[in-house]
Amino acid sequence: MEIVRTPDECFSGIDDYPFEPHYTTIKTHDGSDLRIHHIDEGPRDGAVVVCIHGQPVWSYLYRKMIPYLTAAGLRVICPDLVGYGKSDKPAARDDYSYERQVEWMGAWLEQNDFSGLTLFGQDWGGLIGLRLVAAHSERFDRVAISNTGLPYNPDVPQALVDEVETYRATAPTPNLISMTREMRGLSWEGKAANPARLFAVWQKFCWETEHLPIGLMLSLMTEPQSNLTKITKALLYRLGMRSPIPSPTAKAYDAPFPEPKYTMGPRAMPSQVPSLPTSPSLEQQRLAWEFFEQFEKPFVCAFTDDDPVTKGGDATFIKRVPGAYGQPHTTIRGGGHFVQETRPKEISQVIIDLVNRTAA
């Protein structure tokens, strides 16, 4: 396996990420060394919260939450998924299967011997984190999730599967503007005729865009700015500027990905979401749901009310996971997809309350 590593100097000048790096080296399926980065903040004897990010971000996403959590006496561990942040990056898109991400992070978890954990997962941090809970249940005491899921869709009609697969194979690559426009219509609550087809726009955009404009996308999604500024940035991007008028936040999210060769993780992972019965990991997802339907440890949802990708997804967990029964689930208003950026205090308080309420 060919592996690349973002040079350390790419992370210089990120003033709001003052955290000491920690590194763990694991072995891949072919015997390669793979280095995984994490940050570890707060009191050594505090209850441990593992915060896992999603795509296309990195542990920088948790910089606003860490002060709230550590001030409450919690020890906060935030890894960079393989392919993201300061972690190593396999160079081929085909290296990034769902199962390998679970395997890699499971090896990281075991090698560090973390236990007594509270999981917080959002986006892919939930998809991977929940599978870690299922595979290493003895290490986790409680779970909190936001804007994520555990996709398992074995019964999608063949006509809808064909529609998605035809789109993936034959449609032109969407650009940033057309992708954004189509994704606004996404809904998994029955409002879209074929939500997997709309989600495929995001999958195709990521898979076929050689150098994803990650900083630009995160800036547009999470930073207050006028419509004129947003339109200007989008137009400059269409004219060939990958990161027009970048804010410090945009620069930080771009830092791990200075060249296309570093971006294979963010490009590949959306296509690994098991949204269809033909998707990889279908059987593993079935087994994971079988586990969570018997999971009685505390389980709390704190989804936002305006994320089209996951809105309403908390209802499935609340209905099916015994540990979610009777918990004070929260709907966070206007937080968008990346609640860690837009509502760090509110989502941190959900975690703090969960630990305080359920600690032995």
Which residues carry out catalysis? 123, 307, 337
d(CA 10, CA 25): 21
Q: Please name the residues in contact with 68: beta carbons below 8 A apart, sequence gap of 6 or more.
A: 344, 345, 348, 349, 352
d(CA 353, CA 72): 10
Q: Which residues of 1-19 are buried (b: 16+ CB within 10 A; e: fewer)?
A: eebeebeeebbeebeebeb
Most distant CA atoms of the chain, gap in Å:
57
Cβ burial, residue 158 (10 Å; 0-12/13-18/19+): exposed
d(CA 77, CA 14): 19
Closest CA to 52 of 81, 88, 24: 81
Sheet holding 33-41, edge to edge: 22-27, 33-41, 75-79, 48-52, 117-122, 140-146, 299-304, 330-332
Bridging pattern class, strands 48-52 and 117-122: parallel
| Helices marked H in the chain | 66-71, 98-112, 124-135, 158-170, 176-183, 195-208, 214-222, 227-238, 248-254, 264-268, 282-292, 314-320, 339-342, 344-358
